[in-house]
Structure 1
């Protein structure tokens, strides 16, 4: 199954990759740069080797932020101009998630989410 939309956005003030599926919205922060990845691999190899010698030194790596919101939990969707972007706000319970997108994409993204929530999008029926 292919995603219905994929775009980059600011979520909670940070860059994120957003993917809209028929049943959910997912977003995650992109990984580190290539140089940082090489340094992390070297550090990980060193840490793992050290942790085999000293069990108390097991590495604890932070996961990149990844979140998901089920379409059936979405109560409303709205958009509002936010400087150079438009904020598409998705409300689910007491949580509001705002995706900052270019003005030209906001109406399409808002309509897609609204149609999925209402069940009028062809992908929502299947």
Structure 2
């Protein structure tokens, strides 16, 4: 089974996200939100298991809000720039630019990894 080349937490579009870099793509997912109603349903379900069984539509959902993917073959460029306490690694694909805010010490490694994958210089891209 294929293993990710890198995985890290980042800010993407102002929200926390889990980013995973694979040899052929970059994926990121944003955690879903927990609403007050969902929390109340969890409390009610603890006291009344039947409630969650009788009304399946009301079961609380703590899933990912969404998952997005960018194919490496679509990436045109990658760059980094200091952004306060972090460094923003920007990946450009067509009219889309995705910035991943990472700690300064990780930025160069991530930028180099993406650049090598795009150029075909990474060992996993030469299979």
| Same fold, judged at TM 0.5 (above) | yes
Shift of 1:63: 5.6
Alignment of 1:55-66 (within 5 A): 64-66=65-67
Closer, same or farther: CA 19–37 of 1 in aligned 2, 3 Å:
farther
Q: CA RMSD in A?
A: 2.9
The superposition leaves residues 64-121 of structure 1 with CA deviations (integer Å, 9 ceiling, x where unpaired) of 1210000000000000000000000000010000000000000000000000000000
Aligned residues: 117
Q: Secondary structure at the match of 1:117?
A: helix
Alignment of 1:32-47 (within 5 A): 42=45, 46=51
Q: Which runs of 5+ in 2 are unaligned?
A: none
Closer, same or farther: CA 3–48 of 1 in aligned 2, 3 Å:
same
- 1:6 matched to which residue of 2? 7
- 1:99 matched to which residue of 2? 100
Closer, same or farther: CA 19–47 of 1 in aligned 2, 3 Å:
same
Per mean C-alpha deviation after superposition, the further-off stretch among 63-72 and 77-86 is 63-72
TM-score (normalizing by structure 2): 0.78
- 2:29 matched to which residue of 1? 28
Q: Which runs of 5+ in 1 are unaligned?
A: 52-57
